[in-house]
Amino acid sequence: MDLMGYVREVAPRVNKFIEEVVKGSPQTLYDAAMHLIRAGGKRLRPITVLLSARLVGGAEAEDKALPGAAAVEILHNFTLIHDDIIDKDEFRRGVPTVHKLWGEGMAIVAGDLLYAYAYRALLKAEERGVDPVRVKEAVKYLTEGAIRVAEGQALDMLLSRRLEASLDEYIRMVEGKTAALFMSSAAIGAVLAGGDQAIIAHLREVMRLAGIAFQIRDDILGLVADEKTLGKPVYSDIREGKRTVLVIYALRKLSDGDRKRLLAILGKGNASREELEEAAELIKSTGAVEFADSLAEDYARRSMEKLSRVSEMARDLEALRLLRELIEYLVKRRY
Amino acid sequence: MDLMGYVREVAPRVNKFIEEVVKGSPQTLYDAAMHLIRAGGKRLRPITVLLSARLVGGAEAEDKALPGAAAVEILHNFTLIHDDIIDKDEFRRGVPTVHKLWGEGMAIVAGDLLYAYAYRALLKAEERGVDPVRVKEAVKYLTEGAIRVAEGQALDMLLSRRLEASLDEYIRMVEGKTAALFMSSAAIGAVLAGGDQAIIAHLREVMRLAGIAFQIRDDILGLVADEKTLGKPVYSDIREGKRTVLVIYALRKLSDGDRKRLLAILGKGNASREELEEAAELIKSTGAVEFADSLAEDYARRSMEKLSRVSEMARDLEALRLLRELIEYLVKRRY
């Protein structure tokens, strides 16, 4: 089976688990909370949980890890709802964002609700025979992930307000905003499957590197992708003044005049389509896309190398192969 | 020792624990997250945790329950930060709200960060010798509380947009918005101290009733209290169109003309001081304050009765006495 075949097989099980767990009233709140989850998404974090569990515990560990897979997807969707409010984004996954449909207040609470449901989903691992001490450990990893996501999100906002950011600051921000939840996903899968500290630490590092590669690819797609395949507006990073790796690189390479011009458009909330395109062209003219491409490849390569060193510990070689495919997908995807 | 003496003794320990746990970078995010916690607050939920723990496990259980006490206060403060954004409130505890000082985006993330830290604080109970299975149980109660708070908050918003709400709907909303976290506080204290299902269920019911009484008192204070002692603007409930128990009662009792007049002012964002005072007078004219007063007293009395039935299970009679004082304070407080 290839990765896409595996996704087609397990995604419906993750979705079903989420639908069964996230239930209650008032209905409006639950509709808002489930809106983006139902709109689609690639389920990359649940896949990370399930493959990590299989790697450590074999195919039979998948069932035990399903609550963890649901938990990270629920947590991820909570961050999307809140991020969309913060960034004033109006579309995601091809549908209007939660705050566009239900208003900001309801969207804030819908996100908060999902946050709690991430824990409730995870706690259900005990019903599947996972030792309660391991469930508690998984809760710890979910919590660490949530803390680092918030830190990364705050850093992202703070960097957007500054003139320049360094590549180091960018990586630190991305480790929080994006990689942390992939790291927690691997850890949760491994710990629910009975893994020890060594393999958990190892898989976390694999996903730290892969998560960074994933975000760099995301930055690139935000500049070069087609709006329709992306499911959200391109150039919104520019409008929001985001210090993507492309912007950081371009600001260093541009002449003083072009640099000023780019800075004048970055973060300009009411920038016209022409201005956004002008900014995009300025960024591309520096070779920023090629630089980011090779940086992403580099992180993906390091992630793969790290992964190859767990192969002797792996109890499920198909899972190992699928994890490799996943990392490759994270860095090469076109949307 | 009386309740205030007890609060003076334990509040600094709760605060110190929170300061030690909630640490990280970026500094701006942590300043925003800690702003309201540092501005004061009565620490009623931590006190509920600690007294429940003592009741069940004796004085030596207090130390084990301290992480739980910190957790519920952290969770409470996360909800305050988000509520203030939703309600557009500018002052709380006598200081500007988080979103007024740091902007809405940072305030949303600061709340999200605290949410995760509530779990991190609670997980530290294990370092104090609590069995990890009990820690996991406490996590479950924290999660249930968080879910019900979000449901209550959503119901509050939905009721504000409706013409009429019933007393039943109000009680259901308040059970979520306010009582749920008091219930979780009692459960967390009891479970960390080694309590069994029976006493946990019992204490949860005590705090459900007390929490409702507390919110009714809050509604009354929002109409009759002095702005300075309250630390936040009076009449904001009216401006936001909140269906408080007073409003629900008044809408039933007023003549058609006065009822229309009240409905015209309720939820009018730009209502003048005169209009707000007019609405307050209309509400008071129906005897709503007296009705709410006796309703709060009734819930407090039922809470006390329920509590008196745990006295034989209590291992710490001072804790029992202080819990009684706490319930009395919840319903009788002047700010």
Size of the A and B interface in Cβ pairs below 8 Å? 141
**A270-281 mean pLDDT:** 94
Helix (H) / strand (E) containing B96: strand B95-96
pLDDT of residue A253: 96
Q: Note whether A82 contacts B112, CB cutoff 8 Å.
A: yes
**A201-221 mean pLDDT:** 97
- For chain B, what is the domain count? 1
Give the closest-approach CA distance of B87 to chain A in angstroms: 8
Angle between helices A245-253 and A167-174 (to 10 degrees): 170
Sole residue written with tokens 């949980």: A49
**B144-169 mean pLDDT:** 93
Could you tell me what percent of chain B has a pLDDT over 70? 98
Give the closest-approach CA distance of B331 to chain A in angstroms: 28
pLDDT of residue A164: 80
Chain B within 8 Å of A162 (Cβ-Cβ)? no
Task: List, for residues B256-265, the tens digit of each pLDDT value.
Answer: 999 999 999 9
> Among A75-79, A161-165, B89-93, which is the least confidently predicted range?
A161-165
Cβ atoms of residues A79 and A98 within 8 Å: no
Q: Note whether A123 contacts B146, CB cutoff 8 Å.
A: no
- Phi (first) and psi of residue B95, to 5 degrees: -125, 160
Task: List, for residues A220-273, the tens digit of each pLDDT value.
Answer: 999 998 777 767 777 889 999 999 999 999 999 999 999 999 999 999 989 999
For residue B169, the domain's CATH number is 1.10.600.10
Q: Is the pLDDT of residue A173 over 70?
A: yes
pLDDT of residue B312: 84
pLDDT of residue A118: 98
pLDDT of residue A23: 97
| Mean pLDDT of chain B, nearest integer | 95
Give the closest-approach CA distance of B204 to chain A in angstroms: 19
Task: List, for residues B13-28, the tens digit of each pLDDT value.
Answer: 999 999 999 999 999 9
Q: Is the pLDDT of residue B164 over 90?
A: no
| Chain B residues inside the 8 Å CB shell of A119 | 119, 139, 142-143, 146
Round to whole Å and give the CA distance between A255 and A266. Answer: 16
Give the pair of three-digit tokens for residue B333.
């407080």
Q: Is the pLDDT of residue B246 over 90?
A: yes
Cβ atoms of residues B259 and B288 within 8 Å: no
| Chain A residues inside the 8 Å CB shell of B85 | 104-105, 108
Chain B within 8 Å of A154 (Cβ-Cβ)? yes
pLDDT of residue B225: 81
Q: Note whether A104 contacts B86, CB cutoff 8 Å.
A: yes
**B308-315 mean pLDDT:** 88
Round to whole Å and give the CA distance between A137 and A326. Answer: 25
| Mean pLDDT of chain A, nearest integer | 95
pLDDT of residue B45: 98
**B112-140 mean pLDDT:** 98
Q: Residues 36 to 95 of B: which have CB under 8 A from any A CB?
A: 78-79, 82, 85-86
Instruction: Answer with the residue of higher pLDDT: A146 or A235.
Output: A146
Q: Is the pLDDT of residue B159 over 80?
A: yes
Task: List, for residues B272-304, the tens digit of each pLDDT value.
Answer: 999 999 999 999 999 999 999 999 999 999 999
pLDDT of residue A297: 96
pTM of structure: 0.96
CB atoms within 10 A of CB A271: 18
Collapse the DSSP code of B329 into the 3-class scheme (helix H, G, I; strand E, B; otherwise coil) and give the result: helix
* pLDDT level of residue B143 (50, 70, 90 thresholds): very high
Give the closest-approach CA distance of A304 to chain B in angstroms: 30
Q: Is the pLDDT of residue B332 over 90?
A: no
Chain B within 8 Å of A10 (Cβ-Cβ)? no
Cβ atoms of residues A194 and A275 within 8 Å: no
Indicate the pairing of strand B91-92 with strand A91-92: unpaired
Cβ atoms of residues B328 and B300 within 8 Å: yes
Q: Which residue of B has its CA nearest to A124?
A: B140
Which of A86, A108, A240 is the best residue to mutate to test the B interface, defined by the most B CB atoms within 10 Å of its own CB?
Answer: A108
Task: List, for residues A178-193, the tens digit of each pLDDT value.
Answer: 999 999 999 999 999 9
Instruction: Answer with the residue of higher pLDDT: A235 or A327.
Output: A327
Q: Give the residue numbers spanning the domain of A328.
A: 3-332
| Chain A residues inside the 8 Å CB shell of B150 | 29, 109-110, 112-113, 116
Chain B within 8 Å of A24 (Cβ-Cβ)? yes
pLDDT of residue B335: 66
Q: Note whether A116 contacts B157, CB cutoff 8 Å.
A: no
Q: Is the pLDDT of residue B155 over 70?
A: yes
pLDDT of residue B263: 95
Q: Which residue of A has its CA nearest to B32?
A: A154
DSSP secondary structure letters along B19-71: HHHS--S-HHHHHHHHHHHHH----HHHHHHHHHHHHHH-TTHHHHHHHHHHH
